[in-house]
């Protein structure tokens, strides 16, 4: 009788194990079972508040979740001054569309328009190349252990931009993002990336057209903290390093930003940063936000 009672008590656990094997066994890559895991076993994205990729360089280490459509956008201003010239730039809408295909896989589409003004030179105005990507959830931080929450973004670029900013080539890049929750309300994250030919970013393309092919490597580190129930702050450094140009560049930047959560599904942001190397902008600032449904 006692054996029968024990089996009855264990029945719900056995059922969950059969339906959701990842609930009971460690899994190296979270996205691998997304097409076989029943919907009832997948996380509800609305249990947590929205998390955007903007406005820092280091992207989010989590995907948006199954069935979510998320829009992000904003405006940024950049300024750089040397002994020879003064340069300013404006970018908007910095649009990012994120669509949750499954619990741990999302599709992404980026569009941006840029205005660059340099003293005594012709203005450069136009769209950047269209960027598309898939983001895959790799791991989630366990309650005990050193494994981070991590994701990888696999990006492509279609040469659809204006004459001033297109690479005229299909490009490829990767970004690996990893994050640890140090204690309640405090996180440390970083990212390591690779891209070809500046990956269409107006600030990384040579001023003059060139036949040179080059790669960029990137590294970032960011410390984030809760200020209150509806506000967070981050402190970030990132570097971008070229490889393959006759005149190589090193971009090094420090920036600070604040997020204000109007609701769990709507966030506004503001940021400002300074360059730490000769190839960086002297100053930049931006505002924006994100909304999901």
Cβ neighbours, 10 Å, residue 209 = 11
Mean pLDDT comparison of 3-7, 21-25, 215-219, highest-scoring range: 215-219
Tokens of 229: 């129930």
Q: Which helix (H) or strand (E) holds 285?
A: strand 283-292
Cα separation, 202 vs 251, whole angstroms: 13
Supply φ then ψ for residue 19, to 5 degrees: -80, -40
Question: How far is residue 159 from each of residues 165, 197, 208, 214, measured CA to CA in Å?
Answer: 9, 12, 17, 16
Greatest Cα-to-Cα distance within the chain, rounded to the nearest angstrom: 92
Tokens of 57: 């360089």
Cα separation, 239 vs 220, whole angstroms: 6
- Quickly state the pLDDT bin for 24 (edges 50, 70, 90): very low
Q: What residue has token string 């990006």?
A: 155
pLDDT score for 82:
87
Q: Looking at residues 182-193, what average pLDDT do you find?
A: 96
- Quickly state the pLDDT bin for 3 (edges 50, 70, 90): very low
pLDDT digits (tens, 9 = 90+) for 195-249: 998 777 877 776 665 667 889 999 999 999 999 999 999 999 999 999 988 889 9
**Using the 8-state DSSP alphabet, how is residue 218 labeled?**
E
pLDDT score for 83:
81
Tokens of 105: 């896989």
For each of the domains in the chain, give its residue range(s) and CATH number, in order of start. 43-292 (2.40.160.40)
pLDDT score for 22:
45
Predicted model pTM = 0.87
Cα separation, 87 vs 68, whole angstroms: 39
Return the SS3 of 193: strand
Cα separation, 216 vs 236, whole angstroms: 19
Average pLDDT, the chain: 88
């Amino acid at each position: 009788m006692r054996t029968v009672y024990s089996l009855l008590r264990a029945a719900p656990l056995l059922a969950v194990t059969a339906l959701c094997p990842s609930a009971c066994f460690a899994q190296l890559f979270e996205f691998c079972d997304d097409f076989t895991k029943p919907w009832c076993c997948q996380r509800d994205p609305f249990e947590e508040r929205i998390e955007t990729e903007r406005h820092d360089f280091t992207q989010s280490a989590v995907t948006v979740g199954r069935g979510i459509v998320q829009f992000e956008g904003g405006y940024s201003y950049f300024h750089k001054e040397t002994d020879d010239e003064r340069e300013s730039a404006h970018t908007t809408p910095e649009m990012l569309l994120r669509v949750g295909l499954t619990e741990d896989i999302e599709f992404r589409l980026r569009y941006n328009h840029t205005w660059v003004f340099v003293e005594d030179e012709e203005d450069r105005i136009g769209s950047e190349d269209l960027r598309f990507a898939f983001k895959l959830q790799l791991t989630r931080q366990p309650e005990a252990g050193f494994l981070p929450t991590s994701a990888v973004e696999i990006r492509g670029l279609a040469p659809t931009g204006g004459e001033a900013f297109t690479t005229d080539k299909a490009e490829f890049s990767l970004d690996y993002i990893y994050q640890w929750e140090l204690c309640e309300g405090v996180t440390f994250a970083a990212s390591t990336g690779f891209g070809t030919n500046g990956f269409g970013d107006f600030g990384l393309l040579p001023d003059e057209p060139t036949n040179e092919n080059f790669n960029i490597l990137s590294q970032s580190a960011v410390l984030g903290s809760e200020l209150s129930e509806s506000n967070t702050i981050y402190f970030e450094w990132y570097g971008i390093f070229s490889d393959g140009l006759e005149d190589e560049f090193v971009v090094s930047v420090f920036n600070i930003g604040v997020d204000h959560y109007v609701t769990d599904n709507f966030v506004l942001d503001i940021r400002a940063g300074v360059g730490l190397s000769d190839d960086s902008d002297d100053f930049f600032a931006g505002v924006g936000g994100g909304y999901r449904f």
